[in-house]
Structure 1
Amino acid sequence: MTLLVYSEDLAVVDVYYMLVEGDKAVYVTRRDSVPIAGSFRSPSDLSLEWKQILKNGREYLGRVKIVEKRDGQTRAFMNSFTARYDAEITDTYSDETGASATVMGISRVPFEGSLRFNLHQDGILLASVEEKTPILLSGDDETVEVSWNRTLDPGVYRLTIQLLGNDGDLLDFEETIIEAKIPLRPATTRTDDGAEDDGSGISRSLSIALLLLLVAAAFIGFRRRQKS
């Protein structure tokens, strides 16, 4: 739950938190001797993340009691809410071979959704890949990767990444462009003697020299056979 507290003067308080489901307290904790700044412009953040795993669609009540250490003055707040799974896409990557997306959970209800990767070119759907995400709670993040099963031909492609919830509902959406380029051919280099090297590690002049040696060896063998 989120709680911001303002105070005219500097104060030290004890804070009691309670999470209630129906008529039962399912989580209780406290923070002792918490300083609160004496300024309306700088509120003190007394927010707390529930440790309890919540159930999707269930109604809960959050209660907070603040007790001043100096005089025992007490203030109480409460707020009801419906627990709901939630997550978001925090990072994406894509190229000619595949794509990935990082998903972060932002709820104490377990997220058990999926990611759908749709690849288009000229308005035509070329590929649609859907992968389940790991189970996520608030603060957990995982990266899901997919492959196009081949390197994309040169051209411009549009990629949409959809984050789907436990019930298949759309929670988040990212869109990007993939520009697949023509693979570069190996560049030719020159050897010390000025001959070009085509990348095979043997220059043209060296290839010619090897060929001449082979011809000479064959000629010598032929002369020897004639003499014998």
Structure 2
Amino acid sequence: MFKHIITVLALIMLTASTVDASIDSSIEKENFFNEDSGMSGFSKIYVDGFGVNSNGFKLILRTYERHAETSFKPFLADIEYILMAQGQVVYSKRVEQIPLSVGSEGNIILNHQGNVALEGGKNYTGMAKVYLYREGKPEYYLTTSSNFTARNDAEITEVYGDGIGASATIKSMSMVPLDAKIIFTLKQGGKIVETREIAAPSIMSNDKEKTINILWTGNLGEGTYIVSVSLNGKDLTVNYDKIFTVDKRTSAKTPEATNQSGKSGDSSYSTPGFTVIIPVLAILALVLIYKRRG
């Protein structure tokens, strides 16, 4: 009887050990991307954040285990960025061999912008597929996705104003072609002096910023002014104010004024041309005297 009990206990312990080993093996297969059988090092990443909008993709990867404070060894990855609209792929780009190192905190932030024109107000799905390298070849690891509605997005980077006119520099941050208007409002002492409106340049985020110039209806008088620039479009309002001063117009100095600034008795500050006129008059006088004698 005693031998029978010992045999049963041994079988129970063996079964429990086998189950534990099976669970551990399943966890390792699910979470770890092994690169060698000795497990001396392994590659593993978590997606801590993913976002996509009209401006582009942003992917945040983590290469360490928070609760265990374990950093994984550096490795390479391919990231495939995809944009879809109504089930159709409108953009796809694979960026290869991105180095993913632990860094200072183990976080890697990847940004990507697709060079494709989007339609404002239309719904899109953005995806990022991650491939990790194993024995020199990329193997699929995971996919993350997000939905968004395409919108205009732009900013005013600089405004300039003077007594003649004003300018505004516009930079687009969206792959939706900019559809907006620019309003220049000239103010002095809290009162609106003049308002000018002009169409904004139709640019996208992969274009260079552009500067728009306007002229006031007339030259401004002396004083301090504010030019308020507003960029207005659907779901887009950006404002930028700039103060400027128009100085008093100064006339050119007259010869008399120049002479007065000189030192008393100094011939170098005499009226220009005066030293030349005296000899000419003397020559004319001699000619007249010579003719009379003749």
Q: Same fold (TM over 0.5)?
A: yes
Stretches of structure 1 that go unaligned for 5 or more consecutive residues are: 198-202
Structure 2 residue identity aligned to 1:143: T
Question: Matched residues in 1 for 2:181 and 2:87: separation?
Answer: 35
Between the aligned partners of 1:158 and 1:29, the Cα distance in structure 2 is: 46
1:6, distance to aligned residue in structure 2 (A): 1.1
Does 1:138 find its partner at 2:205?
yes
Partner of 1:134, secondary structure, is: coil
Normalising by structure 2, we get a TM-score of 0.65
Higher mean Cα deviation, 74-83 or 118-127?
118-127
Distance 2:266 2:184 in 1: 51
Name the TM-score, length of structure 1 as normaliser. Answer: 0.82
Say if 2:73 is the partner of 1:6: no
Alignment of 1:172 onto 2:238: yes
In the alignment, is the contact (CA less than 8 A) between 1:100 and 1:143 conserved in 2? Answer: yes
Q: Which residue of 2 aligns with 1:17?
A: 81
Deviates more, 1:16-25 or 1:216-225: 216-225
Change (3 A) 1:65 1:132: same
C-alpha displacement of 1:25: 1.2
The equivalent of 2:128 in structure 1 is 64
Percentage of matched positions with identical amino acids: 25
* TM superposition shift of 1:67: 2.1
Using the alignment, how far apart are the partners of 2:268 and 2:232 within structure 1? 56
Structure 2 letter corresponding to 1:48: H
The structure with more helix, counted as a fraction of residues = 2
Take 1:89 and 1:42, find their aligned partners in 2: how far apart are those partners?
A: 35
Supply the distance in 2 between the matched residues of 1:182 and 1:162 (Cα, whole angstroms): 29
SS in structure 2 at match of 1:209: helix
Measure how far apart 1:26 and its partner are.
Answer: 1.2
Written as runs of structure 1 = structure 2, the 5 A alignment for 1:209-220 is 209-213=275-279, 215-216=281-282, 219=285
1:94-116: per-residue Cα shift (whole Å, max 9, x none)? 22222111110100000132321
Following superposition, which runs of at least 4 residues in structure 1 exceed 4 angstroms of deviation?
Answer: 213-228
Separation of aligned partners in 2, 1:98 and 1:126: 13
Over the aligned positions, Cα root-mean-square deviation in angstroms equals 2.7
Tell me the residue number matched to 1:77: 144
**Which structure would you say has the larger Rg?**
2
- Say whether the 8 Å CA contact 2:115–2:206 is kept in structure 1: no
Q: Do the aligned partners of 1:161 and 1:174 also contact (CA within 8 Å) in 2?
A: yes
Q: Does 1:108 align with 2:175?
A: yes
Deviations 1:110-156 (A, max 9, x none): 01323211111122221212222321100421011112244321111
**Alpha-carbon distance, 1:22 to partner:** 0.9
Distance 1:16 1:209, change over 3 A: closer
Cα deviation, 1:150-179, whole Å, max 9, x if unaligned, reads 4321111121111122x4x65211112121
Task: Indicate the larger mover: 7-16 or 155-164.
Answer: 7-16
Q: 1:98 to 1:55 in 2, by over 3 A?
A: same
Contact map agreement 1:14 1:33 (CA 8 A) in 2: yes
Q: Tell me how far 1:29 sits from its aligned partner.
A: 2.0
| Equivalent position to 2:91, from 16, 20, 27 | 27
